[in-house]
Structure 1
Amino acid sequence: MLVDLSGKIALVTGGSKGIGAASIRLLARSGAKVVLHYSSGQAEAERLAADIGSDSCALVRADLRRRGAAAELWRASVEAFGRIDLLVCNAALVAPLMLDAADEQWDRVWADTMQVNVRAIADLYRAALPHFLIGGGSIVAVASRAAFRGDETHLMHYAASKGALVALTRSIAKNFAADGITAYIVAPGFVRTERQEAVIATRGEADMLRDVPLGEMCTPDAVANVIAFLASGLARHATGATIDINGASYFH
């Protein structure tokens, strides 16, 4: 067991696959009860929840593209186990968008990206803070190295949303540390998730790793290890900090 999270209750958004699923597994192995949020990955979410057991894992579906869904997700999550101690904001929309896209597509993808990656998280924070002010709590936001170094042209909107997430989460850390609320950011580079497998197949792993001095692709478990450590309370004075997980490919 990496850390002891016995008695803790966590909500992990985007928990059916990738970093979210790895975090769910590790948090549960570390003793926490978990609320697994998912949107489209119902089969994967149900399999993971079955592996963990209904006493320790509750499922909540919510489409964070819809206004109001984040607040509903928070209420359902609290109802599942009575409270939440840890919020892991992992769900994100990554939708490539070219500069020459039709105006309608341009507007829709920008709006959906900012809704899922920023506004829904702001709504979750808004719902969580009064809850955390009573007994304390922790937030871990999954951003990206793209928030700091930018991204390719077809993912500029994604980079912008992650930059906004960083500023939002730092604001929470700054304003609520005295109230017993900690907030951290993890910023992965390339992670070998289901989503990235198609990119790896197209670009080739060697090309993707050209600027990664460590020379290997990060795994979801490696990111989950950092999330669990931050959730443990062993690094309270790091609140507001960003932990880079990118194989030394970018420092800020």
Structure 2
Amino acid sequence: MFDLSGKTYLVTGASRGIGAATAKILLESGACVVGSYASAPGNLDSLVTDYGSKRVLPVQADLSQMGAAHQLWEQAVAFNGHVDGLVNNAGVMPEAYVSGSDEDWHASWHTTMMVNIQSVADLCKYAICHFKPRGGGHIVSIASRAAFRGDGIDYMHYAASKGAVVSLMRSIARGYARDGIYGFIIAPGWVKTDMAAVAYEPGNEWMLDEIPMGEAAPPSDVGNMVAMLMSGNVNHATGTTIDINGASYVR
């Protein structure tokens, strides 16, 4: 376990899945967490009960809307007067059918790009401006193996958004390392979350059969990696992508 006492982290999409697991692990390590949620606080309510309102701040933020990222960042900084690290985890994956109408196609692409990359870019911008005068900080963005191998034909927009996240983080790592700002990418495959529920439906056994380990990764695998990257013990790994996919995609 890493000692993150005195640190404050913003974790987007922290109401469930990877975000909730990450928030819990950071709290167990001694940190304070500002966790965003889209519609319902979910597991964040339990974290407030367990760790107290002085260490956990749930914030509602619809990251598909312009300006939501800025409001979220301002609330995160106001919580303790500073933010030491940003975890860009929030993401959406609506279907986008090539055979569908242009209106539906554009709507799915727009929402996906707003949540998965525009809000990520906005939060990174605010984080960089906050970190520079403080001597540095850490940013971890959750991408996907889809950024490297592509995705299904109904999820090309999702793969494209995650590919953009990878390029964004690599640029940040290269551009701001001398300022003590370090950026990392985690690229999960199937993870045991609500978003991956389709892999457990009858007839979709092949989705998990392709994983050499035979099962989806627990969200804690991602959360533990985030805590390590935030700890400052591996800063020279800035710019790297860490695959957590049970060897289903090996680069």
Fold agreement, TM-score > 0.5 = yes
Please name the residue that 1:157 is paired with: 157
Q: Decide whether the 8 Å contact of 1:14 with 1:90 is kept in 2.
A: yes
Distance 2:219 2:213 in 1: 16
Please name the residue that 2:13 is paired with: 14
Distance 2:197 2:168 in 1: 30
Please name the residue that 2:185 is paired with: 185
TM-superposed CA distance for 1:198, in Å, is: 3.7
Deviates more, 1:148-157 or 1:36-45: 36-45
TM-superposed CA distance for 1:176, in Å, is: 0.2
Q: Decide whether the 8 Å contact of 1:25 with 1:52 is kept in 2.
A: no
Aligned-pair identity in percent equals: 48
Please name the residue that 2:241 is paired with: 242
Please name the residue that 2:139 is paired with: 139
Q: Letter of the aligned partner of 1:242 in structure 2? A: T
Q: Decide whether the 8 Å contact of 2:199 with 2:208 is kept in 1.
A: no
Distance 1:152 1:198 in 2: 13
Distance 1:232 1:198 in 2: 34
Please name the residue that 1:104 is paired with: 103
Distance 1:170 1:148 in 2: 14
For residues 150-189 of structure 1, the C-alpha deviation after alignment (integer angstroms, 9 at most, x for no partner) is: 0010111000000001000111100000000000000000
Distance 1:3 1:234 in 2: 9
Q: Decide whether the 8 Å contact of 2:85 with 2:138 is kept in 1.
A: yes
Q: Decide whether the 8 Å contact of 1:6 with 1:30 is kept in 2.
A: yes
Q: How many pairs align?
A: 250
- Does residue 47 (structure 1) correspond to residue 24 (structure 2)? The answer is no
| C-alpha RMSD of matched pairs (Å) | 1.2
Deviates more, 1:158-167 or 1:129-138: 129-138
Q: Letter of the aligned partner of 2:148 in structure 1? A: F
Matches within 5 A, 1:15-94: 15-94=14-93
For residues 74-99 of structure 1, the C-alpha deviation after alignment (integer angstroms, 9 at most, x for no partner) is: 01110011100010000001112221
In structure 1, stretches of 5+ residues that fail to align are: none
Quick one: structure 1 residues 101 and 241, their matched pair in 2 at CA, closer, same or farther if it must change by over 3 Å?
Answer: same
Q: Secondary structure at the match of 1:209?
A: helix
Distance 1:86 1:129 in 2: 10
Distance 1:196 1:130 in 2: 35
Distance 2:199 2:102 in 1: 26
TM-superposed CA distance for 1:202, in Å, is: 4.4
Q: Secondary structure at the match of 1:42?
A: coil
TM-superposed CA distance for 1:203, in Å, is: 4.2
Please name the residue that 1:148 is paired with: 148
Give TM-score scaled by structure 2 length: 0.96
Q: Secondary structure at the match of 2:201?
A: helix
Distance 1:94 1:125 in 2: 21
Give TM-score scaled by structure 1 length: 0.96
Deviates more, 1:34-43 or 1:106-115: 34-43
Please name the residue that 1:176 is paired with: 176
Q: Decide whether the 8 Å contact of 1:16 with 1:48 is kept in 2.
A: no
Q: Decide whether the 8 Å contact of 2:41 with 2:58 is kept in 1.
A: no
Q: Decide whether the 8 Å contact of 1:143 with 1:162 is kept in 2.
A: yes
Quick one: structure 1 residues 127 and 244, their matched pair in 2 at CA, closer, same or farther if it must change by over 3 Å?
Answer: same
Q: Decide whether the 8 Å contact of 2:143 with 2:188 is kept in 1.
A: yes
